[in-house]
Amino acid sequence: MKKYWLIGVFLLALPLVGCGNDGSLTVTDAWSRSLPASADTGAVYFTITNHSGQDDILTGVSVPVAKMAELHHSTMAGDVMKMEPLPGGVLNIPDGETVIFEPGGLHVMLMELTAPLTAGESFSATLHFQDAGDIAVTVSVKE
């Protein structure tokens, strides 16, 4: 009987895990691409999921491997990919939504790199949110 009881609890818990408002804002899958040591600029990508119950604002990102980090987005101008800072340098993260930073789209632009980005290594990044506060993540450097 105990087994069935456990399965019942598991099934009841599933909807809470899978969706809805769990009262949190999370940052996952933080990564960056490896670059030659001579590179001066790089980018960081991640996924932000806002289940905090309210909209939040990403106001900036700090990393130890660059002197400056800006929130950028990429757009196509004809055949040419252009990128520019987000208006105001911040990004609204609506409640209930997942915002993905990825190549060709939103990214954290790293300028004046102070350390090489080597595949297999990682570095820390701290995302600053207006309401959720600071969230630290580990950024994996990929090939």
Residues interacting with Cu ion, by CB under 5 A?
72, 83, 109
Radius of gyration for the alpha carbons in the chain, expressed in angstroms and rounded: 18
Question: Counting every residue, how long is the chain?
Answer: 143
Nearer to Cu ion, 52 or 107 (CB): 107
Q: Find the shortest distance in angstroms from Cβ 55 to Cu ion.
A: 24
Shortest distance (Å) from residue 51 CB to Cu ion: 28
Using CB atoms within 10 Å of the CB of residue 13, give its burial: 0 to 12 exposed, 13 to 18 middle, 19+ buried. Answer: exposed
Report the nearest approach of Cu ion to the CB of residue 107 (Å): 6
Between vectors from CA 79 to CA 58 and to CA 90, what angle results, nearest 5°?
A: 10
Report the residue number, 57 or 83, with the smaller CB distance to Cu ion: 83
Q: How far is CA 124 from CA 5, 45, 64, 121, in A?
A: 42, 13, 7, 11
Nearer to Cu ion, 53 or 83 (CB): 83
User: To the nearest whole angstrom, how small is the minimum distance from the Cβ of residue 89 to Cu ion?
Assistant: 12
Closest CB to Cu ion among residues 66, 132? 66
Angle, vertex CA 116, rays to CA 134 and CA 122, nearest 5: 45
